Amino acid sequence: MKKGFESSELSCFPISSDDVSAGFPSPAENHSGGSLDLTAYLIKHPEATFFLRVRGDSMTGAGIFDGDILIVDRSLSPVSGDIVISVLDGEFTVKRLIMRNNGTVELRPENPRFKPLRIYEESQLDIWGVVTGAVKSFR
């Protein structure tokens, strides 16, 4: 896997200065708002960022679906509530990290068909990075 990348590896694309309504339609003129540098927008720490493709449907409630590509930042310290990439007892997984005041930790799926993964003293948990975004394709 390639470590980091240069901003010039992704192109800048034109972006409209208007927002699009997700509720009721509003009249909008076609305005150019300049350009969007996808690297600068999506990646805050290029040297510590990598991408992973999702397989499975345990995180659909968080808007993460099979085939999505996750943007993962290894430089961030995970906090409770973050979606993380972790290795639990040798298995990679993406889940929401829950750390309680009593010291217990769990990796929680965002799909009611799956059970939370409780972390026990004998468990081997390594948090690889914090998910900061996702890339989706609708077509």
pLDDT tens digit at each of 139 positions of the chain: 445 545 445 567 677 667 767 777 655 555 556 888 888 889 999 999 999 999 999 999 999 999 999 999 999 999 999 999 999 999 999 999 999 999 899 999 999 999 999 999 899 999 999 999 999 988 8
Half-sphere exposure of 122 (CA within 13 A, CB side): 0
d(CA 97, CA 116): 10
Of 2, 58, 123, 137, which is the active-site residue?
58
- pLDDT recorded at residue 103: 87
Closest CA to 105 of 93, 118, 115: 118
Helix (H) or strand (E) holding 41: helix 38-42
| Residue 115 falls in the annotated catalytic set | no
Of 2, 7, 95, 123, which is the active-site residue?
95
| Residue 3 falls in the annotated catalytic set | no
Q: Starting at the earlier edge strand, list the strands of the sheet with 117-119.
A: 49-53, 69-73, 125-135, 83-88, 91-99, 105-108, 117-119
Torsion of CA 14, 18, 24, 27, to 10 degrees: -110
